[in-house]
Amino acid sequence: MSGSSIDARVSIGHVHLKVADLERALGFYCGVLGFQLTQRYGREAAFVSAGGYHHHIGLNTWESRGGSPPPPGTTGLFHVAILYPTRAALADALRRLIEARVPLDGASDHGVSEALYLRDPDQNGVELYWDRPRAEWPHTPDGKLAMYTRALDLESLLDELS
**Collapsed DSSP state (helix, strand, coil) of residue 78:** coil
Amino acid at 75: T
pLDDT at 61: 97
The dihedrals phi and psi of 38, each to the nearest 5 degrees, come to -110, -25
CA distance 11 to 150: 27
Could you please state the CATH topology (level 3) that the domain comprising 12-66 is classified under.
2,3-Dihydroxybiphenyl 1,2-Dioxygenase; domain 1 (3.10.180)
Among 61, 52, 67, residue whose Cα is nearest residue 17: 61
Residues of the chain whose pLDDT is less than 50? none
The dihedrals phi and psi of 10, each to the nearest 5 degrees, come to -65, 140
pLDDT at 50: 96
Query: Where do the structural domains in the chain lie, given as residue ranges?
Result: 12-66, 79-162
pLDDT at 12: 86
pLDDT at 157: 98
CA distance 62 to 40: 13
pLDDT at 1: 59
pLDDT at 80: 96
The architecture CATH gives domain 79-162: Roll (3.10)
pLDDT at 155: 98
Is this structure's pTM higher than 0.75? yes
